[in-house]
Amino acid sequence: MSLTFNTFNLQSANVLTSSINYRSIPAREIVLEDIARKPGKKLISEEFAERHIKLAGWILGSDSTDLIAQIDSLHTNVTRKTSGTLSIDSGREIEAIVASVSVEEPHYTQSMVPFEIEFIAAEPFWKGAQQTVSLTVTSGSATQPITKTVTLTISGSVYAEPSIVYTAPGSTGSTTTSGIQVVYNPTGEKVTWSGTSNATLAYGNFVKFDYANQLILEGSTEIEATGVYSRWEPGETTFVTTFSGSQQGGTLNFIYRPRYL
């Protein structure tokens, strides 16, 4: 178990965490609406709420003077931080807000005091290491438009929100790529990029479909997109990328971080 907040170790010779509550599944926030002239309710939305994580233990010093220094260190590295990256299980982390920190008042003869910390994760999912699937886009085709079907397995226990990045081959001038569409096969939901002012994509440039932030970037420029940004469920799945134009070439990267309850 790796217990850190940013780079500060919460399980060390001076900070001994003895109790952790972090595996409880966050509650669902359910919105219901009355149905006219009919019993029951209509489900409007349901989403997981924030996650609460609580730690308790002891701050240890070699003597009363050193204890004060260790308390100051906890406040410097945890209490005064608005938020940071909390890691408990190896290979998983979560962005957490420091909600409260309490430390018992030390007496002049003490060399240890109890503490409690509560973190709140606005996005309630733990995240694993980034995963990348890199694919080559074949250049040229007698049939237009060109499609590429990809089958992959998404890790995690809840949906992923990937980035799909097409990078044109390096050269000068512009390609003939005038549009790209990504279709998530399980639901049929699709997102489409079209070149700015009907222009084609420049050589060496990229188009990024950012599902987490629901936007499309052409290089550093945000492009107005059409379609629906899917939630990619864990397990084996398939998506289809369609290119408008000929002589595509380049690479297609599927990038995501597994998410866990």
Question: pTM of the predicted model, to two decimals?
Answer: 0.84
Same domain assignment for residues 62 and 105: yes
Tokens standing for residue 177: 């790529």
Q: Is the model more confident about 60 or about 143?
A: 60
| DSSP reduced 3-state for 157 | coil
Range of the domain at 77: 4-124
Domain closes at, from 80, 105, 124: 124
What is the spatial distance between Cα 196 and Cα 165, in angstroms, rounded to a whole number? 17
Position 16: which residue type? L
In whole angstroms, what separates CA 189 from the centre of its chain? 20
CATH of the domain at 156: 2.60.120.860
Return the pLDDT at 146.
81
The string of pLDDT tens digits covering residues 212-253 is: 999 999 998 888 778 999 999 999 999 999 988 766 788 999
Tokens standing for residue 208: 């990024």
Asked whether 165 and 252 are in contact (CB, 8 A), the reply is: yes
Lowest model confidence (mean pLDDT) among 62-71, 127-136, 158-167, 192-201: 192-201
The string of pLDDT tens digits covering residues 95-116 is: 999 999 999 887 767 899 999 9
Same domain assignment for residues 120 and 151: no
Average pLDDT over residues 5-20: 95
Domain closes at, from 77, 100, 124: 124
Asked whether 129 and 92 are in contact (CB, 8 A), the reply is: no
Same domain assignment for residues 91 and 76: yes
Return the pLDDT at 211.
96
The string of pLDDT tens digits covering residues 187-199 is: 999 999 987 665 7
Q: How many distinct structural domains can be found in the chain?
A: 2
CATH of the domain at 109: 2.40.30.200
pLDDT of 77 above 60: yes
